[in-house]
Structure 1
Amino acid sequence: MDKSEHPDDETSVDVLFRNGNLTVFGIVLAFSLGFLNTWTNNPNDWQVTDLPTLALIAGGIVFPASALWRLLQRDSLKASVFASGNRRFAIGLALTSIGMMLAICVDIGHMLL
């Protein structure tokens, strides 16, 4: 990385605070993967209407996974790196949540039809 991106005098995040975020990121990522596993093993037949849900949930899993990976790096105690990891996590959480709600709506729609 270029030194201009992360100057040495940048403020740092407390290790305990970062570790708390790592725990939350890991738990939410595991929950998301578990939901995807349960949803894909659903006894209902797959249809084209399930593809947006799959894309949202899968895309939503990529962001928290990259955020978790980012916060495991050596420079993750720098405030800008920590903030970047938090943004990635928030984007992933939003995508996964929307995907889960869409999965529920699609399943209800399939039951009603």
Structure 2
Amino acid sequence: MDTSEDHKGEPEVGVLFRNGNLTVFGIVLSFSLGFLNTWASNPNEWALTDLPTLVLISTGIIFQARALWRLLRPNSLKKTVFEAGNRLFALGLLLTAVGVIMSIVIDLTRLMIY
């Protein structure tokens, strides 16, 4: 959303509630980044089959970071901005989770083949 949008008269969420979400978003984002770091430094050789996993995890992390940034802005106390940030974070979390599950399935498949 543009920072110049007018949100006068719009209901607001509680500061404590928003701060709780900020904490959760930050923790989950750090775990996602940590997983990507661990996965990238895995001693297994990379293959073209790892590309969809990398795209999913990276895109999910970008969405999570964007949602965190959105909730750090002053207008995030407005209900529509807050809810949009939550939806963005949920999408990022879903993409990251699918990427993590896909990486596990690919690794297990490689173990069974070799």
TM bucket (normalised to shorter chain) is: over 0.9
* Paired residue type of 2:105: C
Task: Return structure 1 stretches of 4+ with deviation > 3 angstroms.
Answer: none
TM-score (norm 2): 0.94
* Paired residue type of 2:97: S
> What percent of counterpart residues are identical?
59
Does structure 1 retain, via aligned residues, the 8 Å contact 2:7–2:78? Answer: no
1:7 CA drift (Å)? 2.9
Quote the residue 1:8 is aligned against.
8
**1:17-59 CA distance string (max 9 Å, x none):** 0000000000000000000000011110000000000000000
Quote the residue 1:56 is aligned against.
56
1:79 matches 2:79: yes
Q: Cα distance 1:2–1:109, how it changes in 2: closer, same or farther (>3 A)? A: closer
Q: Distance in 2 between matches of 1:22 and 1:96?
A: 18
Quote the residue 2:99 is aligned against.
99
Q: Cα distance 1:107–1:82, how it changes in 2: closer, same or farther (>3 A)? A: same
Q: Cα distance 1:2–1:22, how it changes in 2: closer, same or farther (>3 A)? A: closer
Alignment of 1:7-46 (within 5 A): 7-46=7-46
Q: Distance in 1 between matches of 2:70 and 2:3?
A: 17
* Paired residue type of 2:16: L
1:2 CA drift (Å)? 7.7
Does structure 1 retain, via aligned residues, the 8 Å contact 2:59–2:96? Answer: yes
TM-score (norm 1): 0.95
